[in-house]
Amino acid sequence: MEPKLQRLLETIRRLLRRGATQNISRLLGKIHPADIAHLYRYLDPKEQQELFNLIREPEVAGEVLAELDHAFSARLLEQLTGVQISIILQNMPYDDAADIVQNLPEDLAAEVLNLMKDEDSEEIEGLLQYEEDSAGGIMSTEIFSLREDLTVKEAIGSIQKADDVEMVFYLYVTDEHNHLVGVLSLRQLLTVSPATVLRDVMIRDVISVRTDMDQEEVARVVEKYNILAVPVVDESNKLMGLITVDDVIDVIREEATEDIYKMAGANEEELLLGNQAFKIARLRLPWLITNLFGGVATGYLMWLFKVTIKDVIALISFIPVITGMGGNVGGQSATIVVRGFATGKIDMTTLRKVLFKEMRVGMIMGVVCGLTVGLVAWGWHHNPYLGMVVGLAMTVAMSVAATMGVLAPTFFKKIGVDPAIAATPFVQTANDITGILIYFATATMFIQYLK
Amino acid sequence: MEPKLQRLLETIRRLLRRGATQNISRLLGKIHPADIAHLYRYLDPKEQQELFNLIREPEVAGEVLAELDHAFSARLLEQLTGVQISIILQNMPYDDAADIVQNLPEDLAAEVLNLMKDEDSEEIEGLLQYEEDSAGGIMSTEIFSLREDLTVKEAIGSIQKADDVEMVFYLYVTDEHNHLVGVLSLRQLLTVSPATVLRDVMIRDVISVRTDMDQEEVARVVEKYNILAVPVVDESNKLMGLITVDDVIDVIREEATEDIYKMAGANEEELLLGNQAFKIARLRLPWLITNLFGGVATGYLMWLFKVTIKDVIALISFIPVITGMGGNVGGQSATIVVRGFATGKIDMTTLRKVLFKEMRVGMIMGVVCGLTVGLVAWGWHHNPYLGMVVGLAMTVAMSVAATMGVLAPTFFKKIGVDPAIAATPFVQTANDITGILIYFATATMFIQYLK
């Protein structure tokens, strides 16, 4: 935490305790809204609500809300009256306002929309039609565009008059039916003669996305072409909105966090639950219970080999290392494939290469780890055959695990199940089972040398 | 893969096989450089080099290289003569050129810098001074700034004359010593009278970063304030360069991939190694071998309980589930903490809350899973005491695992070791060991009821 913020936090806490509401309001007027939002991480729920109620200007309140999670923002607003809420939301960009309205209780949302100016509520209701994770769901509709038959002079005139539009740096050009036909930079306008018609100077090859494109896909387009904003069009190429790169950054962060959480069987919705342990546990349990039955299945397999184990009790010393290493290697391969799918670096065309690479890598690592653990087993239990059995089982188990690590997420992707969440329990259980099978099958085969 | 790219790929492959170099060159002139770079994922090394050599315009070659990984770009260039390389690099932004020069063999780098215009090589050598992961290392130095004593009219004049600068949308204002003193948007310039002096209209409160700031920190600043670019200053506030949000996106993606890979014990450098299985295996092995010895240690512990196991062989059926579930729960908590550290959502101030939350969550999940597996054990082996022992051990092991999952990454962060890489093997081994200890200690205690 930065020292500046630390001091601010302490001041605000002190003032809250003293009930010095006037001073807090004055202080909040002087802080960047992003910094106010940042402080929310460190406040408890009561302080969060109190602080929010003390923000005087609706613009600042709106900016703070836009920085916070939308579900959380909705909860902060619920404490206010419908009129207050509608004023704050009308001071926010429509896309953020729509996301918050979506998270309000239905009655309250309807009331708030009713209280707004028709113009505002219509825009917001329009945005509510789109899927939350689609280009339409994250676009801003306050977009500045110019007709292609304007002259440069007229264009500059309308830029001077325009206000309240999201940062203007690309100027989108449309035809008379509002179809997107070109793009210009503001700087370009300044470098041609004032009488030029936009149609003659604009760049016709505009990169755009459709309203129904998935937000991850949008992020990839923006990233690939290194653009600062991408216009959003409907199926007939009508200009509907704009997605700026700061929204794209949020998408990239969110999706990365989501994938990381999912691979561990956690859930990014937890972030909204604060310290509600029961709700968090409920989110994580289905994944854990799946793993639990995988573990029981592995145990059942071991039980089938109980005679072998009773005969050669030394075999138990290598159960954890064989199942553990299979899980690790499988996890590595699965991670590479899942992340590759997410970033677009791996697709079905390049998958075969990845599979063969991971198989080779798994085999090489399997030989190294097999030799290592084999020598350990030989030295420890003074039996070269035990070393051989353990080493061989480890090598085979690791090679199989690497293969499985590629195949399982691919399979889940093909059948339309998110590989990030399904891969781990499946890979782990499959690897435990094959590891144990290979280990005890080899051991049973060589049983006379092990006793 | 998009159908358009798919067709392009097939065409290029066909033309390469036919040796129709003329046609390829012509085709490459018509494709967006980002698309050419995209094709590289699907080509084999020989095709990659051939295709690169067929790009005629040095600008296009430069743009393609800027989209590819820098180490990979350097390898593509190595095949050319020093003169050719220097021409291409001089057609790229200095920051990308510097990153590539850094990856060239030392002799070749020196030769190339020698062949460049002094102006260019000085800029590049200046950039080479900065750490690769710092603001200085990723900033672009082609920055457009205006003196504070200019009038708006003069400012617009110099914008019209300027070319070859990175997208202009924020105009940075400096004093006579090149200190950053303000910022303006291009649109603002158009809305005030031409005679106004910049000093009187600029915004004085500019968000900037220092050249030595870590790139992750830079990403967080840009993200927090939703800005499209951030100026970079030296310790005396002199304007040195600019970081645009598209560079920030690369940083965020890279860091997320790096963390995801590290947590699985893989390495993001693998991405540069293509299919070189031996080198990849060497990168992953140290982490695996650490885990291997963790597994052997767990096995040694089990060996100590061999009498108990021989007495009650049914106990073996629950070894995989107890160690596995501890690892899973510990992994969940560790993932949340490691990701929280990375995104800045968790810091030492909020850690205590996270710890208590994870402990409560772990306990709740431990009770649920303990009951489940306890009932399974009872039903399977027809012994309620076995059910009790297994269930109890599971509950305790999972609670401990969740606690460990928070403490281990915190400990590693405190002593300056990357928690992403260190947490997993440590958490896993610690959990296996405590799981086994708790399980067999409970079992030994109740041994007379289990037989």
DSSP string, A231-267: EEE-TT-BEEEEEEHHHHHHHHHHHHHHHHHHHTT--
Q: Which of A127, A125, A198, A128 lies closest to A157, judged by CA?
A: A198
Q: How many residues does chain B have?
A: 451
Residue of A nearest to B361 (CA): A277
d(CA A408, CA A424) in angstroms, rounded, equals 9
**CATH 1.25.60.10 residue window(s) in chain A:** 3-133
Quote the pLDDT of residue A163: 65
Torsion angle, CA of A275/A277/A281/A283, rounded to 10 degrees?
-40
Angle, helices A419-445 vs B319-343, to 10°: value is: 140
- Pairing between strand B180-185 and A239-244? unpaired
> pLDDT band at residue B348, thresholds of 50, 70 and 90?
confident
CATH classification number, A3-133, choose in 3.40.50.300, 3.60.21.10, 1.25.60.10, 3.30.70.20: 1.25.60.10
Question: What pLDDT score was predicted for residue B418?
Answer: 86
How far is CA A304 from its chain centroid?
A: 43
Per-residue H/E/C for B251-320? HHHHHHHHHHHHHCCCCCCHHHHCCCHHHHHHHHHHHHHHHHHHHHHHHHHHHHCHHHHHHCHHHHHHHH
Query: What is Dmax (Cα atoms) for chain B?
Result: 97
A165-174, B20-29, B99-108, B337-346: lowest mean pLDDT where? A165-174
pLDDT along chain A (451 residues), means of 10: 82 87 86 87 84 87 87 88 90 87 90 88 88 89 88 87 64 92 84 89 91 91 86 94 87 86 83 81 89 90 89 89 89 90 83 91 94 94 92 93 93 89 83 90 88 77
CA dist A354 and B122 (Å) reads: 42
CATH 1.25.60.10 segments of chain B: 3-132
User: How far is residue A362's CA from residue A43's CA, in Å, rounded to a whole number?
Assistant: 47
Of B182, A402, A287, the closest CA to residue A394 belongs to A402
The owner of tokens 């012994």 is: B383
Question: What residues contact residue A10 under an 8 Å CB cut-off, 6+ apart?
Answer: none
pLDDT of amino acid B45 = 82
Q: What angle do CA A268, A271, A273 make, to 5 degrees?
A: 115
Question: Quick one: closest CA in A to B220, which residue?
Answer: A249
Q: Residue A151, SS3?
A: strand
Q: Please report the pLDDT score of residue A208 as a whole number.
A: 93
Q: Cβ separation of A325 and B292 shorter than 8 Å?
A: yes
For residue B41, the chain A residue with the least C-alpha distance is A345
* Confidence grade of residue B165 (pLDDT, cut at 50, 70, 90): low
pLDDT value, residue B312: 87
Check if the interface score ipTM surpasses 0.90: no
Q: Which residues of A touch B350 (CB under 8 A)?
A: 41-42
d(CA B291, CA A107): 55
Considering Cα of A76, then A81, then A87, then A93, what sign does the dihedral take? positive
CA-to-CA distance for A441 and A305, rounded, in angstroms? 9
Q: CA-to-CA distance for B433 and B440, rounded, in angstroms?
A: 11
State the smallest CA–CA distance between residue B290 and chain A in angstroms: 10
Q: What class, spelled out in words, does domain A270-450 have in CATH?
A: mainly alpha
Interface A-B: count of C-beta contacts within 8 A: 309
What's the confidence (pLDDT) of residue B79?
86
The pLDDT confidence band at residue B266, using thresholds 50, 70 and 90, is confident
Residue B240 predicted with pLDDT over 90: yes
> Left (φ > 0), alpha (ψ -120 to 50) or beta: where does B79 sit?
alpha
Contact A101, A125 (CB under 8 A): no
A335 to B266: CB separation less than 8 angstroms, yes or no: yes
pLDDT at B163: 65
CATH class of B145-246: alpha beta
Q: What is the secondary structure of B179-194 as a DSSP string? A: BEEEEEEHHHHHTS-T
Contact A281 B34 (CB under 8 A): no
CA distance B97 to B58: 13
Q: Where in chain A is the domain with CATH 1.10.357.20?
A: 270-450
- Chain B positions touching A167 (Cβ under 8 A) are 169, 185, 228
- What's the gap in Å between the CA of A443 and the closest CA on chain B? 16
CA A115 – CA A212 distance, rounded (Å): 29
Preferred mutation among B217, B316, B345, B439 to probe A, highest tally of A CBs within 10 A = B316
What mean pLDDT do residues B7-25 have? 87
Q: What pLDDT digit, counting tens, does each position of B138-149 carry?
A: 898 888 889 999
Closest CA to A279 of B255, B295, B53, B364: B364
Say whether A320 and B226 touch across the interface (CB within 8 A). Answer: no
Choosing among 3.40.50.300, 1.25.60.10, 1.20.120.790, 1.10.150.20, the CATH entry for B3-132 is: 1.25.60.10
**Alpha carbons A394 and B296: distance in angstroms, whole number:** 12
- A313: nearest CB among B284, B310, B369: B310
B/e letters for A231-261, b = 16+ CB within 10 Å, e = fewer, are bbbbeebebbbbbbbbbbbebbbbbbbbbbb
The answer to whether A287 and A264 are in contact (CB under 8 A) is: no
- Going by C-alpha positions, the residue among B50, B7, B62 that lies closest to residue B25 is B50
Tokens, residue B248: 């920030």
- Give the closest-approach CA distance of B138 to chain A in angstroms: 15
Banded model confidence at residue B19, pLDDT cuts 50, 70, 90:
confident
The CATH superfamily assigned to A145-253 is: CBS-domain (3.10.580.10)
The DSSP element (H or E) to which A371 belongs, if any, is: helix A351-381
pLDDT at res. A135? 93
Say whether A369 and B289 touch across the interface (CB within 8 A): yes
From B222, B336, B360, residue closest to A266, measured CB to CB: B336
Best of A152, A186, A439 to disrupt the B interface (most B CBs within 10 Å) is A186
Confidence at residue B168, expressed as pLDDT on a 0 to 100 scale: 60
Residues in A closer than 8 angstroms to B378, CB to CB, are none
Cα–Cα distance, A248 to A222 (Å, whole number): 8
Q: Do A369 and B292 touch (CB under 8 A)?
A: yes
pLDDT for A274: 74
Q: Is the dihedral of CA B158, B161, B166, B167 positive or negative?
A: positive
CA torsion B198-B201-B203-B204 (nearest 10°) is 70
